[in-house]
Structure 1
Amino acid sequence: MKPVTGALAILVMGSSLSGCGYMFGEEGYFRDRGGDYQLSTVEPRMQVPDGINSKPLGDMLPVPGVTAPANADKFVVPRPQPMMVSGNDAGFSLQQTGSRRWLLAANSPTELYGRVRQFFDDYQVPVASESSSLGEFETEWLAFDLQSSNPLVRRLTPSVGEGRRLEGREQRFRVRIEPGVQGANSEIHVLHMSRSQGGPQSEWPDDSDNSNLERALLAEMETYLNQSDTASAASLATSLQGSVADTAELSEDGAGNPVLTIQRDFNRAWAAVGSALGRADLAVADLNRSSGVYYIDLEQSASEQAEEAGFFARLFGRGEPEPESGADRVQVRLTQIGNQVQVTVERSIDSATDLGLARDLLTRIRDNLS
């Protein structure tokens, strides 16, 4: 038996040694895959289809740059830098799964209810009914074609969508704040309803009548809520001292339009923007303080305009002007929202201007504030 046992042992050892290459070699099943990344290719970034809003995404795990020629046969693969987590990250984010959208908040429903309610107060939208115990309230009906001066209506109108009629229609929203899936998080849900003005329809639909308006309102609430804490603190700190320029911040609203936010009352912001327009050499063709609008003539500078007769008569005129035929004008509009003033650039009260032009003009205004 001993010769047989020895032969079997040698056979097993030989087969195991010959199998190491099959199991652990370069072609083996358990081979070292540490250098496989060198064979990978860089794929183009995913393109979001036109007409869909998206937020820019950065690289979560960027590949470290090469600091030395790769001429060594073997080297240690560097580890990626850890992700930086900031304690100042926004506490509100827009989420979507299929056709379902909501605003995720890092607050409990009880903490959040008053802040969401304040959003509609600041945007001058009356609330028809509310229940703090249910975390729900409903707005009054809004006629977009008759209430175009309302701050929220101006924000939402561009999102109505092509082929959607506003004349003779009225809109309302229901907001519901529910506990989130994780811990103290909350979810803000919006439902939109539309009907003929003065119509009898009153039952809420299962899904929003216009998903674009639902998305636009959630995006506007996201911007407002993320800025509200910072705005309140900044307003309190600068109410007694500091220049207007120190409180001005250029950002974007929920629809991606540039907005210059000034943490001052309307009177001081109006005066500061008027002075900034002059220092920026932007020609003010007319103004309407009650509407909070400066009418800017893009075809000439302020210095050229000052040489023309009747400049001061036009500058201090009242009422909305009749644009000259062929004149290229835009409106710099100031809107009081809570304890801050938002400055925007528009072609008219119901049409937006080019985003690049709007950002350029707001940048010039901000840089000339004092």
Structure 2
Amino acid sequence: MTLKRICTSALLLSSALLSGCSFLFGDTFQDRADNYLTLEPQPELQTPAGQAPLAQRDANVIPPLPVETRRPDKFATPRPLPLVVEQVDDTGVTSLAQYRADSLNPRLDKDGAGTQILRMDLGYAASWAAVTEALAASDLKLTDLNRSTGTYYLQLEQTDVEDTRSWWGKLWGEELVTSANYLLKMNRSRQGVYLSLLTDADNLADADVTQRVLTEVKNQLDQ
């Protein structure tokens, strides 16, 4: 018998033995470790009344997960993070604490049309935060604000210029005071921002009211 024939016969014999094992023992040697993933749960066997309970065990036991509990080397007392409000500006990130160290340099000025304005040298985010805090500390009444449009809404009391009382009535009577709404507008410029005061979106406020409001804001910013 040649060597080639001997090898062929050995392969055929091995295949026959394996087939025979499968026929005799079925799937006895099949790996059932992952069967719990696909089989549906079955109800537990109920022992008839009067009989001792049958010994039961799970046919497909879920293997334990390799969870390792690690204890910390040392205990750290939890502490709150420091309060720092950050706002994104065109040139980066500015915090409320940072603008105090920088120079706002608030100053009364006039634009090209001669309108009274209040200039500041910092960017929009830092200037907005500073003016918001200044208004809160001032005697001005802030009713609303809109950062996206750069608008503070103010309600100001002023003497009624249309007082129709007689001279004696004005002399002995109380001063008539009315309330009016104004828009304190923050505008971007080449260097920093500036504030202007308007009665509505298209009209500037009177010069004396503008002077009073911007001076009050500047005094608060200077503190």
Normalised-by-shorter TM-score class: 0.3 to 0.5
TM normalised by structure 1 equals 0.27
TM normalised by structure 2 equals 0.44
Greater Rg, structure 1 or structure 2? Answer: 2
Higher relative contact order structure (alpha carbons within 8 Å, sequence separation ≥ 6): 2
